[in-house]
């Protein structure tokens, strides 16, 4: 079940990354288009990560850029706090 949820986002991330690479190599006059595809590759890869490793789903089922950024920040803060606690306990 979990793989079914994150896999489409991972596939989109890979597709967008391939598109960014193609644009960079074959269409150097379109840097904004390549940058856009690279951004969406990172965006969809982050969604896949949040689903697969954090079991996060947005309320209402829709992913917004703000939600992804906020949840990633919370995840980073949690990991930092966990690492600090772990280091103090050793």
DSSP states along 3-56: HHHHHHHHHHHHHHHHHHHHHHHH-TT-HHHHHHHHHHHHHHHHHHHHHHHH--
Give the pLDDT of residue 61. 85
Instruction: Give 69-80 pLDDT, tens digit per residue.
Output: 999 999 888 888
* For range 48-69, the mean pLDDT: 90
Give the pLDDT of residue 2. 58
Looking at the predicted structure, is the pLDDT value of residue 33 above 50? yes
* For range 74-90, the mean pLDDT: 83
What integer best gives the mean pLDDT of the chain? 91
Give the pLDDT of residue 1. 47
Among residues 64, 52, 59, 23, the alpha carbon closest in space to that of 75 is found at 52
Contact residues for 5 (Cβ-Cβ < 8 A; gap 6+): 51, 52, 57
């Amino acid at each position: 079940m979990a793989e079914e949820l994150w896999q489409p986002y991972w596939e989109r991330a890979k597709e967008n990354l391939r598109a960014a690479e193609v644009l960079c190599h074959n269409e150097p006059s379109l840097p904004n288009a390549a940058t856009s595809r690279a951004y969406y590759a990172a965006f969809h890869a982050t969604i896949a990560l949040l689903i697969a490793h954090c079991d996060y789903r947005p309320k209402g089922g829709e992913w917004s850029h703000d939600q992804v950024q906020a949840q990633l920040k919370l995840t980073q803060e949690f990991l930092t706090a966990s690492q600090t606690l772990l280091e103090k306990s050793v």
